[in-house]
Amino acid sequence: YYLQAWEGKEIIFELPWPNDKTIILIALRPIKRNGQVIEVVGSTVDITERKKVESELSATKELLESFIKHNLDAITISDREGHILQANKAYEKIFGWSSQEIIGKRLPCVPDFLMEESLKNIQKILT
């Protein structure tokens, strides 16, 4: 990596250090003058905690996606305006609409006169 930095390429990589319990991010940055590399500046940052949090977040995301996908209850995920972003298979089966038909639209099972209240509930959940 060091030689690549001397060739003018910025190098960034992760490395377990020193006993595989710590993960560091290493950056090697060439400093140029008149188009020539005159020095390489290296920096390291301990990213162990960040990697741990990323791993936990990924596991939580997988668990949530599995819960939604395999749930027998109809579940939709919508944005702040009530437009559907995702619907599970149970929703499709119970209401008879495919995900492709409803993605990007407001909940078709909510009557117009209840839509405002539904949107208020979404806002409460998000705050």
Q: pLDDT tens, 68-118?
A: 999 999 999 988 888 899 999 999 999 888 999 999 988 766 767 777 887
Residue 54 has a CB neighbour count (10 Å cut-off) of 11
For residue 111 the two structure tokens come to 């009557």
Q: What angle do CA 62, 63, 67 make, to 5 degrees?
A: 115
Short-list 93, 91, 84, 88, CA closest to 115 = 84
Domain annotation covers residue 13? yes
pLDDT of residue 8: 96
Question: Are residues 51 and 36 in contact, defined by beta-carbon separation less than 8 angstroms?
Answer: no
Domain annotation covers residue 55? no
Domain annotation covers residue 61? no
CA atoms within 13 A on the CB side of 7: 6
- My answer on whether 88 and 118 are in the same domain is yes
pLDDT of residue 107: 74
Domain annotation covers residue 92? yes
- My answer on whether 75 and 112 are in the same domain is yes
The pLDDT tens digits of the residues spanning 33-78 come to 999 999 999 999 999 999 999 999 999 999 999 999 999 999 999 8
- My answer on whether 41 and 83 are in the same domain is no
Domain annotation covers residue 85? yes
Local confidence band at 19 (pLDDT 50, 70, 90 cut-offs): confident
**Range(s) of the domain holding residue 41:** 2-50
pLDDT of residue 29: 98
For residue 93 the two structure tokens come to 């089966």
Sheet hosting strand 11-17, strand order edge to edge = 11-17, 22-33, 36-46
Domain annotation covers residue 78? yes
For residue 121 the two structure tokens come to 């509930």
Total domains, the chain:
2
Question: Are residues 26 and 13 in contact, defined by beta-carbon separation less than 8 angstroms?
Answer: yes
- My answer on whether 36 and 77 are in the same domain is no
- My answer on whether 80 and 122 are in the same domain is yes
- My answer on whether 84 and 113 are in the same domain is yes
